[in-house]
Structure 1
Amino acid sequence: MNYTLHQLHVFLKITQNKSITKAAIELHLTQPAVSIQLRNFQDQFDVPLTEVIGRKLYVTDFGKEIAIAAEKILNEVHAINYKTMAFKGQLTGKLKISVVSTGKYVIPYFLSDFLKQNQSVELLLDVTNKNKVLKNLEKNEVDFSLVSVLPETLQIEKIELMPNTLFLIANSNQQIGNGVQDKKIIENLPIIYREQGSGTRYVMERFIEQNQLTVPKKMVLTSNEAVKQAVLAGLGCSIMPLIGIKSELTNGSLQIIPVQGLPLHSNWNLIWLKGKKFSPVANAYLKFVNEEKKKIIANAFGWIKP
């Protein structure tokens, strides 16, 4: 046996994704490069690790056992690296954060300086919808989550970061009357929704229900970025967070439609499970956010008014 740590890492990614193509994307390698590593790794075993049936890759029972062993080996290697860095007095370890999709416009600014100051810290950042974020939190798979709608069923602690403001948005070519519009205007516009489980969708639907509006869904899309592109293309209007459309408002490709009862307001919160035992990295990050959040907000988000 003469396999390398790189081969173990590649094989583990293949088993996790059950796809060479997806593994290549995660590893930032070409598909042929991943295939070669898999073949070289397989050549060291007499028993098949994977098999392809109908163009779909399956991991054999033996392959699953090897994947478990590979993960243990790689975790031990990481532990050695962390201990080495810690011995040198450097903060080391993993910082695990899950973020709702619109949060991708917020969280980088609350990470940048921390990661520059602690270059041995490994960041694991999952950007997904609200439901998945809360599942990650509930399973204690992450240190922190960034949300704009607080969970009702979990016991959490939080740091309130900054306001999240949502407006009715249209393509700049959309013809709207002057002044503040009646809420009923939403019933007469093609409204684009986020998918179920989205925090933006939740806030939008609550506004519609509270005002007893009848709003047919023009279409449903799975990210705020997709919704923004659809609005830009003139496919409809939507209620969207201001945080994600600064450039489009500045260059005039999108417009805010002033409507009674809008904008809607919530807050971006960094949350964690109540009573969670933090790693040294998570403790350091929490301290960093508490100490630096006002400066970060002033420098990066001063254009947003509460």
Structure 2
Amino acid sequence: MTVLAIDIGGTKFAAAMVEPTGLITARLELPVGQDATATLAELVARIAVPGLTGESGLTGVGIGSAGPLNVLAGTVSPVNIPSWREFPLAKAVSELLPELPVRLAGDAQCMALGEWWQGSYGKRAADAGPYKTLLGIVVSTGIGGGVVVDGAPYLGPTGNAGHIGHISVDRDGDTCPCGATGCVETIASGPSMVRWALANGWRRAVEPSFWAGRAVDARALAADAKRGIPVARLAFQRASDALGTAILTAAALFDVDNVVIGGGVAASGPTLMVPLRQAIARQAGMDFLHRLRVDATSLGRDAGLFGAAALVLGDQPS
């Protein structure tokens, strides 16, 4: 019952062979490159080979993709992959692996589902009462979101339920690639944080020798924030305030219990999580919002892969 899990992000694609126990038997990650469709084909060809599909063979494919998407049509239009607009992702994978069932959901929905299945939240869920909700947020090249209710992803009619990255938190803010103004993604995504920091003197804030050989990216920004560079810390504070506003909006609307944060920017750990928790505590009004728990995913970069696998494994007999 080995399943192939695929995680489609704005800058990288990942895939893994996953057993029903949660064991990952093979894993591969590739940068998106200039031709996202070619990268997808290479990814599948390199990982779905004889000898890597388990004793019983490959039985299905689960895909978590950056959005927006349309699960009914099997199409995706990731904001950060301009060449994919209403791209028939489910069909493309089906053509690469004929006769296998393919399930599609948002990347953050899969991240939350993976946390529920294999992460620390799942270990707590049994004691959380009869109605349990988990909001997953991927903070990376873009910002995605998804909701899991009682162990099942809530997708909505098109599959975009919980897409928190495109809640507007600044009516006078920048125009988002999605076409709206002041989306969370324009403030709190990795590239947005870097653009703001550079525009506010980030590179001038550190000694030139420190930049030798360093990429100017969110990882470097996080390193500077950890070192106490003021403009880098302020970039993370702005991101945390925007994320906190969006999280509390979702929690107020849907009475969410728990939030799990994943993605490359979330890998900065306390550099993001401490000001984010502070922002939520500062902004929370109604009593029920004070019970909200916000954690980084316990599964790291594999959270979305576990969730994509769970999309398929949940449909198969044990």
TM-score with structure 1 length normalisation? 0.33
